Amino acid sequence: KAGVTQTPRYLIKTRGQQVTLSCSPISGHRSVSWYQQTPGQGLQFLFEYFSETQRNKGNFPGRFSGRQFSNSRSEMNVSTLELGDSALYLCASSFDSSSGANVLTFGAGSRLTVL
């Protein structure tokens, strides 16, 4: 079956712009999580959506937001981009992460560069 698909894979924006990233989970997976990966900070949790509801949220400013659609596809948006937002944004899906036995399956990521 198809894996987790993230689009776009690469994008370049300038400071002050906004960006929307998309994630299509594995078919049947209802939980989608987003992570920011940078060389200095490692992997940081942004938020998790389950059945169109945000279930968990990391410690990021309100410029970072997300949503999930009825087909479990998810988008995240970053407004008023800053240089420090340059990172690899990873999406991961699972059937239901509330069960510890479920694993996260990651997409290849969207690499955002802010100039």
Partner 1 sequence: GNSVTQMEGPVTLSEEAFLTINCTYTATGYPSLFWYVQYPGEGLQLLLKATKADDKGSNKGFEATYRKETTSFHLEKGSVQVSDSAVYFCAGVLGGNQFYFGTGTSLTVIP
Of 11, 13, 45, 60, the one binding partner 1 by CB under 8 A: 45
Task: Answer yes or no whether residue 66 interacts with partner 1 by CB under 8 A.
Answer: no
Nearer to partner 1 by Cβ, of 45 and 79: the residue is 45
* Nearest approach, Cβ of residue 84 and partner 1 (Å): 18
Beta strand 5-7 with 10-13 is unpaired
114's enclosing H/E stretch is strand 110-114
Task: Answer yes or no whether residue 2 interacts with partner 1 by CB under 8 A.
Answer: no
* Nearest approach, Cβ of residue 29 and partner 1 (Å): 14
Whether the Cβ atoms of residue 90 and residue 33 lie closer than 8 Å to each other: no
Nearer to partner 1 by Cβ, of 58 and 79: the residue is 58
**Of 46, 49, 48, residue with least CA distance to 63:** 46
Measured between alpha carbons, how far is 15 from 72 in angstroms, rounded to an integer? 30
Nearer to partner 1 by Cβ, of 2 and 101: the residue is 101
Of 21, 24, 33, 78, the one binding partner 1 by CB under 8 A: 33
DSSP single-letter state for residue 80? S
86 HSE (CA, 13 A, CB side): 11
Task: Answer yes or no whether residue 85 interacts with partner 1 by CB under 8 A.
Answer: no
Q: How many residues bind partner 1 (CB under 8 A)?
A: 24
